[in-house]
Amino acid sequence: MQALGGILFDLDGVIYEGNRLIPGAVKTLKKIQAAGIPFRFITNTTRMTKNNLVGFLGGMGFSVGHESVFAAPHVAIEYCKLKGYKKIFLVVPDPEMKQDFSSFQLVDKNPDAIVLGDMGKLFTFNLLNRLFNEVINGSRLIAMHKNRYWKSARGLTVDLGAFIAALEYASGKSAAVMGKPNPNMFQLAVQSWNVPPDSIFMIGDDIEGDVCGAKNVGMKSVLVKTGKFREDVLARSKIKPDFIINSIADLPGLFEIF
């Protein structure tokens, strides 16, 4: 196998499922750290701030710094700055995330842009209708990601993408999508590594967000059979990963890291 320049890990479905750590995850990360291979967690989750994600991982036994976690909200912030948006309607379940968007004026009426994360059970008709009216009146809709579903502690669960699609259909306007498989997210996550894209491996459970996203920027992909993985989805997909393993526990063997 060619030289290994770095590894990107999805979180939910690869490292853990809900609040359950996937067996072998901590051991695998320790081997990668011992081998001196750069790595970073890259996730579409919008339910926790970066601080809380780092704390959550620490509680599971992962000793990582803030620079090791790259989440969809970070891309949304950079995008809004690039576009020159000043007034943001931030719609996320964790109020602490307002701190991450502190460089903007946070409003709930007539925003330049709506930054929408997965609200889960907080999605209601009234909320969707309110967002719909803001969009048709000129606000830009920014989706932190457009995942179809994810695997929660209760099983497969409808994700943000379904609600973004509803708003796009009703308003006739397309959302700007920030998270995986958006190429910007992958490129921003590894820009400090200074290694060829084809030496970087993306480890994920989502054939669209993780595997397709990696391929779009010239990275290699490893699909794990945990999390939201489904054999039927793989069989009918035209997107083919470079490697398929049962779980993150098998990764050291793939890279011959012992």
User: Which residue is associated with the tokens 């990360």?
Assistant: 29
Residue 215 near residue 221 (C-beta atoms within 8 A): yes
Calculate Rg over the CA atoms of the chain.
18
CATH of region 6-44+183-255: 3.40.50.1000
Please state, in angstroms and rounded to a whole number, the distance separating the CA atoms of residues 222 and 244: 6
Query: DSSP label at 216?
Result: H
Please state, in angstroms and rounded to a whole number, the distance separating the CA atoms of residues 160 and 165: 9
CATH of region 75-177: 3.40.50.1000
- For the chain, the first-to-last Cα distance in angstroms comes to 15
pLDDT tens string 230-255: 999 999 999 999 999 999 999 998 88
Residues of the chain with CATH 3.40.50.1000: 6-44+183-255, 75-177
Q: Bigger pLDDT: 164 or 184?
A: 164
Least confident of 14-18, 45-49, 98-102, 142-146: 45-49
Tell me, what's the pLDDT at 258? 47
- Using 50, 70 and 90 to split pLDDT, how confident is the model at 67? confident
Burial class, 43, CB count within 10 angstroms (exposed 0-12 / middle 13-18 / buried 19+): buried
Residue 40 near residue 9 (C-beta atoms within 8 A): yes
Amino acid at 202: M
Which string of DSSP letters, residue by residue, matches 19-57? TEEPTTHHHHHHHHHHTT--EEEEE---SS-HHHHHHHH
Q: Within 13 A of 154's CA, how many CA atoms are on the CB side?
A: 5
- Closest C-alpha among 257, 142, 140 to residue 201: 257
Please state, in angstroms and rounded to a whole number, the distance separating the CA atoms of residues 137 and 191: 37
Residue 185 near residue 72 (C-beta atoms within 8 A): yes
Average pLDDT, the chain: 91
Which string of DSSP letters, residue by residue, matches 67-90? GGEEEHHHHHHHHHHHHT--EEEE
Residue 109 near residue 47 (C-beta atoms within 8 A): no
Tokens of 108: 């709930």
pTM of the model: 0.80
Angle at 210 (CA atoms; ends 40, 59), nearest 5 degrees:
45
Phi-psi sector, 100: left (phi>0), alpha (psi -120 to 50), beta: alpha
